[in-house]
Amino acid sequence: MMAVDIYTKATCFYCMRAKALFADMNVAYNEIKIDGDAPLRDKMIKRSQGASTVPQIFINNAHIGGCDDLFALHAQGKLASLLASE
């Protein structure tokens, strides 16, 4: 099964946009809320190899990047095929 992880904060507009895109595409995702959780934020930064902003998105453990990166993949027609591959 496709694994999509999104590191988020509650008040992040870009997080909301990324989650809305996945919802529009009927893609289930695992939301990892890092609000006030320094160890979890540190894990996100390590996992993303240095990215400290949210959202940070992973598909099958591959780092996609943030919201702009996600929407760029979608605009290029690459997101659907990435989500379809296992």
Do residues 66 and 56 make contact, with C-beta atoms less than 8 angstroms apart?
yes
Its pTM stands at: 0.94
Domain count, the chain: 1
pLDDT in tens, 1-17: 579 999 999 999 999 99
Round to whole Å and give the CA distance between 50 and 35: 18
d(CA 86, CA 82): 8
Read off the CATH number of the domain in which 41 is found.
Answer: 3.40.30.10
Q: Is the pLDDT of residue 86 over 60?
A: no
Domain that holds residue 74: 4-84
pLDDT in tens, 17-51: 999 999 999 999 999 999 999 999 999 999 999 99
